[in-house]
Amino acid sequence: MRFGGRESTPQNFRKIQNPKSKIEMTKIIFDTDPGGDDAFALLWLQSLAKQGKAELIAVTTAEGNINSKSTFINASKVLSLGGFEQVELGRGVTVKNPQAADAAHIHGMDGMGNISNNLPAAKHDFEKAVYSDDLIIDKLNAYPGEVSILAVGPLTNLAAAETKSPGILEKAKEIVIMGGAFKVPGNVTTHAEFNIFYNPEAAEKVFSSCNNLVILPLDITEKLLFTPEMAEDIMSSSQNHLTQFISDLCDFMTEANLRYRQTRGFKGFLVHDGAAVAYLFYPETLLFCRAKVDVETQGKHTLGKTFFDERFIAKKDANSWVALEVDKEGLLASLLEDIKFLCMD
C-alpha cells in the first residue's frame, strides 16, 4: 500500500490523499473532554503552536469522559503546563440524558489519571467562564472560513452552537471529529464509539448541518498505541514537571487500557484524539474516502452507530472525509518529536 496513492483502492471507494497539501498557520478551536488522550492531543497542539505552526484561538471543553467542571479544570491545568494559559476556555454545555456513563474507569476519577493534583493550579474560573457553544459562535463569526474545529469529545457544544445560530458550523473551514466506528466494532457497545454514543442527537445535528467534516474513527485510532517506551524516550530527552506528568499519565492509562481490554493485550494506551491533530499537521499519514456519514439515533441495538452508504453510486450528498487507513509509525513518530519539543527547557 502506498499512502497518497491508489494501489489499495477498494472496488467501491475512490480513496484519495488528504486534500490539504500544504501546512499553513491554522486557527484552531479545540473542543475536548480531558481525558488522558485529550491531554496528550492538547500538549501536541501546544507544541505546534510553540513552533509557530498553529494558532490556538480557543479551547472549548465538553462533558464526556468526566463531568463538565472537571474537563474545564483539567484543560486549564494542561494549558498552564504547556505554557498556554492565556488561551480562552469555554465550559461545557450540559447533556440532559447522556446515553453513556462517563469514562472515569479509563481516565481516572478526576479524568486525568488521578494525578491532576500534581498539575499547576487552574488559571481559568469555571463559574465565570463563557459557555463553549457561545465561544464557538463568537470565534466562527469573527473568522468566517478560517477556523478548523478539532472536536475530540461528544459533539454537544457544536450541536448547541448550531441550534442557537443555525448555519454557524458552515462558517468553520472544517470540523475535524474524532468519533465513530465504520468497519470495526464500537468501544462502548457492539456498534457505537464513545463520543458519538454519549450524545447521538448532537452527532446527528452536526452531521446533518454541514459538509465540511473530517472524521477520524476507531478504524484508525485503535491503531495508535502510545507505549511506556515512548514515555521513557520523552523522559530521557528532558526531566521536568511536564515529562513527569506525561510519564505518570502514561502509567495510569496503560494499566487502565490493559484492564479494560482496549489494546488487545499490548502494553500502552490509545491516543485516539491525537489523530485529529495529525490530520491538520501530518496529513500524509492518513488516507480518506468521501462519504455521506450518518448516525443511528433510534436503534435498539445500534444506537450511536455511524455508517455510510458503500454502494457504488454517486456520493452527491457527501458531508465528510473519513479516514480509514493510517501510517501509525509515521504519526506516532511525529507526536513523539513534537512532544519532546514542548518539553525542552
Bridge-partner residues for 174, per DSSP? 148
Q: What is the residue-wise DSSP string for 319-338? A: -EEEEEEE-HHHHHHHHHHH
Number of H helices, E strands in the chain: 12, 13
> Minimum distance from CB of 314 to ligand BDR (Å)?
31
Considering the complex, state which of residue 63 and residue 138 has its C-beta at the smaller distance from ligand BDR: 63
Nearer to ligand BDR, 205 or 272 (CB): 272
Q: What's the Cα-to-Cα distance from 285 to each of 17, 62, 303, 320, 326, rounded to whole Å?
A: 10, 28, 31, 18, 6
Residue of 66, 79, 103, 175 interacting with ligand BDR (CB under 6 A): 103
- The partner in contact with residue 102, picked from ligand BDR, Ca ion, none with C-beta cut-offs of 5 to 8 angstroms by kind, is none
Residue 209 binds ligand BDR, judged by CB under 6 A: no
**Whole-number Cα distances in Å, 118 to 115, 121, 276, 322:** 6, 9, 27, 38
Closest to 82 in 3D by CA, of 138, 41, 25, 53: 41
Among Ca ion, ligand BDR, none, partner that 59 touches (CB below 5 to 8 angstroms by kind): none
Q: Check if 105 is active-site.
A: no
Choose from ligand BDR, Ca ion, none: what does 194 bind? Cβ within 5-8 Å by kind: ligand BDR
Per CB under 6 A, which region of 3-11, 31-39, 129-137, 328-336 contacts ligand BDR? 31-39
Residue (39 or 161) nearer to ligand BDR, CB: 39
Only segment of 32-40, 126-134, 254-262, 313-321 that touches ligand BDR (CB under 6 A) = 32-40
* H/E stretch holding 61: strand 54-61
End-to-end CA distance of the chain: 40
Contact 98, 63 (CB under 8 A): yes
The Cβ of residue 88 has, within 10 Å, a number of other Cβ atoms equal to 16
In the complex, the smallest distance separating the C-beta of residue 197 from ligand BDR, rounded to whole angstroms, is: 9
Q: Could you tell me the smallest distance in angstroms from the CB atom of residue 7 to ligand BDR?
A: 30
Q: Which of 107, 124, 191, 272 is catalytic?
A: 272
Question: Which of the ranges 76-84, 188-196, 226-234, 303-311 carries the binding residues for ligand BDR, by CB under 6 A?
Answer: 188-196
Residue 193 makes contact with ligand BDR by CB under 6 A: yes
- Could you say which of 93, 155, 178, 342 contacts ligand BDR (CB under 6 A)? 178
The binding track of 255-294 with respect to ligand BDR, each residue x by CB under 6 A or -, is -----------------xx---------------------
The residue type at 213: L
Q: Which of 3, 28, 31, 38 binds ligand BDR (CB under 6 A)?
A: 38
CA–CA distance from 20 to each of 23, 130, 273 (Å)?
Answer: 8, 32, 19
Q: Give the residue nearest to ligand BDR (CB).
A: 194
- Which lies closer to Ca ion via its Cβ, residue 43 or residue 289? 43
Shortest spacing between CB 113 and ligand BDR, in angstroms: 12
Four-CA torsion 192, 153, 223, 186, nearest 10 degrees:
-10
Which CB atom, from 90 or from 153, has the smaller least distance to Ca ion? 153
The residues that touch Ca ion, with contacts defined as CB under 5 A, are 33, 35, 38, 152-153, 273
Give the integer Cα–Cα distance in Å for 121 and 77: 6
> Cα(18)–Cα(324) distance, rounded to whole angstroms?
12
Active-site residue set:
272
